[in-house]
Amino acid sequence: MYAVLTFWVAEAETADLPVPVRTAVASHRAAREAIETCSCHVEFDLKITEPKREASQPCSCDYWFTPQATRAKMRDSGEATDAVWRDSVRDSVTHRSPTNQSSIGASKDKRPSRYIGRCDAWVRGLLVLNVPGTIQNVPLEQLVELAAKVTGGQSVKAGGRQLTLLTLSFPAKPPDATAWEIDVFLDPAVNYLVRQINYRARDVPNFDRVEQVTSFKECSPGVYFPERVEGSSGPIDTPGTVSTTVISNIAVNKPIPAGVMTFRFPEGIILSDGIRGTSYRITSDGRAIGPEIPLGKAPPPVREGASTTQPVSTSETTEEPKSATRWIAPAGVGLVLIGLLISVVRRRRRGRSGE
């Protein structure tokens, strides 16, 4: 099961934006689209620092990107997931190792978004940006279209740099009941890629979520890619989470090795097909070799003597593989963010009741 996200219709059309805003957004888009292919390794660590909830939730990813497809091999919370996105369809295989037992699951699902998981290089490097109140990430120009109001485009001094500031306003609308303002800082020194982004919950004045790219790599003249990102989320004086992203082995606009985007399933595995709403056994190239049954029912037994290149666990899932932490986006998006907001609101209410 997936969370279904519904976006409100943008009240601000791009054509109606001030010229400095349109110019900055267009420059940013050109810099991002100059990255036509990419391969890299991503290390992301989210630390929950709130008292009595301290924890570290690291994940890592080997990542390949082309205009047509994305592949990610991720390791997160005892799971190893290999996934390919192409033509709005994502195929994935996940190996789990909970409590010294291993299992394997395979899935096929319709996914309009090409960004795969919380360790996706585009997500981690702020090449796409989180829509407030959701787990969705979109390019800057789409975030601008979703905003009710966009102002700025002026040059400001921040962190010792001259940056271009855009401020985006989002009213409180379902499913998130919080009104948001976002400050996006674009850096002309790296062709207007995002240097920093601040999320402010208007109903919770002491709450702030910040992500900042502290290092870019110039992969070729005028083509940049983020190398290190730091973030925090929660009360301004005592953040509830801090995060660090390190992107290494970056190769931009270089040929992607042959076969990288060719996805193979374990031979004979049961595929959970969210598009057709059924599960069935498949060959390594995804062809059905068994009867289809509705999702949620027991899979057909393996025929005696059936040949497989890899053992198929009896604990295979008929649902898409899920990580216990995969929905926790950087610096508190999702459950962590909601928990921090609730905590801040409760503190304010207790303070008022004591006045």
pLDDT tens profile 110-153:
999 999 989 999 999 999 999 998 899 999 999 999 999 999 99
Residue type at 302 in one-letter notation: V
274 within a domain of the structure (yes/no) = no
255 within a domain of the structure (yes/no) = yes
283 within a domain of the structure (yes/no) = no
Summarised one tens digit per residue, pLDDT across range 25-68 is 999 999 999 999 999 999 999 999 887 788 899 999 999 999 99
Q: Which CATH number does the domain housing residue 161 bear?
A: 2.50.20
pLDDT: is 332 or 194 the higher one?
Answer: 194
Please tell me the pTM assigned to this model: 0.79
11 within a domain of the structure (yes/no) = no
The count of domains in the chain is: 1
Q: State the pLDDT at residue 102.
A: 75
For residue 231, the enclosing domain spans 18-260+319-348
- How many alpha carbons fall within 13 Å on the CB side of residue 42? 32
